[in-house]
Amino acid sequence: MFEKLFNKIRQVGNIITGTNYDNLEQTLEINPMVSPEMKTKMNVWRNMYEDQSPWLSDTVSSLNISSYISKEIALLTMLELKSEIVSTKGNKNEKLLEYANRQYQRLLGSLRIKLEEAQAVGGMIIKPYVNLNDGEIYFTFTMQDDFVPLAFDGNGKISDAIFVDKFVQNGNYFTRAERHKVLNDGTIQITHKCYCSSSSSILGTEVPLSMVEKWSNIEPESYVKNANGELFGYYKVALANNVDEDSPLGVSIYSKAEKLIRDADEQYSRLKWEFEGGELAVDVPPEALLPVNKTKVNTFTTPKLNKRLFRAVDLGVADNYNVFNPTLRDQSILNGLNAIYREIERLAGLASGTLSDPSNVARTATELNIVKHTTAATISDNQKAIQMALEDVIRTIGVYINTYNLAPSGSIVGNFEWGDSILSDTDKEYQQKMELMSQGIISKAEIRAWYLGEDIEKSKEEIDKIKQNEPDEMKALFGE
């Protein structure tokens, strides 16, 4: 039964995304925990991320700030992450760890890119699944605007959700609704239903899973016991939901700066127009222009210079030329844009100078420390949120390993090291530690352990080896 459930990797085809069906709730008889306000906002955030903001037009250009903010937060969140799967104490099994970490590192390799998209829409689900053809575990990433949450537990974790997989073939739209539900005894109930429609906006009529070749081996209903939670990890952006305060769903990292991002686009468009409208031009009476063709009436050209330079205007005076060369207001517009940037940084949890002109940022040590803490707090909160999701993913990996005998059974957990280079100055800290060592307050092994990320015993062993092999160099290094 489980083999049928997870036997096939998702196939790449003519896939369509989104869950905006007109009759989804009625057909599936469900009541999604997504308010109309959240649906609308998630659509706006998605469009902003894809550089299709609703306010863009022929006269309003985009700075693509939303995409940049999402990328910056995702990059800083994942920049120094070192994570691996380890055994619980007294339960170490090298074959289990080797297999589990091979799967887990596959996930980490693609996580940052997916995290960027999740920052934009408010969150995502990371769902492991097993391919029994090769005995490996793979992962799907479902963004918050592409799944249907039905229930949350007391800790804010999803306990009932529907994932929608869709594609079109021969003019027919096929949809597979995969539902994961935590029953009262903790068992996970997984159901699959298939629908067919001639329209992309209608769920259509339920048909057998066997009607679609790539879904034909999926069991319509199955159960997984002893999972201790849902078989996926849910990450949501670490911000309070100010769109729907009763919703457990996340909001976009730039949700609070949405109006200011529009202001920035409009201000940038004013800057562009200032340069376009202020281009150098020469107004001349029509008789000062050169005829193109003597046989054609009112066809003139300019002297051989830039074609944008001359404009035919009835000056009403004897002068043949009038130079149009207005003073540009670019600096005033740039100052206004920079002020908007600073407000966007404040509301998006970014340090001053990320978007705005860094030359205007505070320069005293205390002020710089405050600036650093702004970004550090945002990153730290999101690191905690993604770690919670990854811990659930690791738990699910363990469930699948034990269920399908993919490796020796055992209990596994995650180990996480996030780093703090946003706040710390490594060179300065190194000098401080060397000074402490010279005063006999800390040891050489402690410095090595800190600098290389080793445990203290490993550092002591390595220093002893170096002393034995290269005693003179060691003495010179530590001033002995």
What is the DSSP code (8-state) at residue 224?
Answer: E
Cα distances (angstroms) measured from residue 356 to each of 71, 173, 350? 17, 47, 10
Mean pLDDT for the chain overall: 81
CB atoms within 10 A of CB 303: 11
Given a cut of 50, is residue 13 above it in pLDDT? no
List, in sequence order, every beta strand (DSSP E) within 183-316.
188-197, 205-207, 221-224, 233-236, 281-284, 290-291, 300-301, 310-312
Give the whole-angstrom CA distance, residue 124 versus residue 88. 28
Comparing C-alpha atoms, which of 217, 157, 211, 143 is closest to residue 188?
157
**What pLDDT does residue 456 have?**
83
At 171, the pLDDT band (50, 70, 90 cuts) reads: confident
**pLDDT, tens digit (0-9, with 9 covering 90-100), for 180-218:** 999 988 899 999 999 998 887 788 888 999 888 888 888
Given a cut of 70, is residue 103 above it in pLDDT? yes
R_g over Cα of the chain: 31
Q: Would you give the distance in Å from CA 422 to the centre of its chain?
A: 19
**pLDDT, tens digit (0-9, with 9 covering 90-100), for 34-59:** 888 999 999 999 999 999 999 999 99
Lowest-pLDDT range of 41-50, 112-121, 346-355: 346-355
Range from 155-159, 173-177, 209-213, 263-267 that averages highest in pLDDT: 263-267
Given a cut of 70, is residue 142 above it in pLDDT? yes
Task: Provide, rounded to the nearest whole percent, the portion of the chain with pLDDT above 70.
Answer: 76
- Write phi, then psi, for 46 (nearest 5 degrees): -60, -45
Given a cut of 70, is residue 113 above it in pLDDT? yes
**pLDDT, tens digit (0-9, with 9 covering 90-100), for 394-442:** 999 999 999 889 999 889 999 998 877 655 556 667 777 788 888 888 8
**What pLDDT does residue 407 have?**
92
Q: What is the DSSP string of 163-215?
A: EEEEEEETTEEEEEEEEEEE-TTSPEEEEEEEEEESSTT---EEE-GGGSGGG
Task: Provide, rounded to the nearest whole percent, the portion of the chain with pLDDT above 90.
Answer: 42
- Pairing relation of β-strands 290-291 and 300-301? antiparallel
**What pLDDT does residue 366 have?**
52
In total, the chain counts a number of residues equal to 480
**pLDDT, tens digit (0-9, with 9 covering 90-100), for 307-321:** 554 454 554 555 555
Report yes or no: 117 and 124 within 8 Å, Cβ to Cβ.
yes
Give the whole-angstrom CA distance, residue 69 versus residue 66. 5
**What pLDDT does residue 146 have?**
85
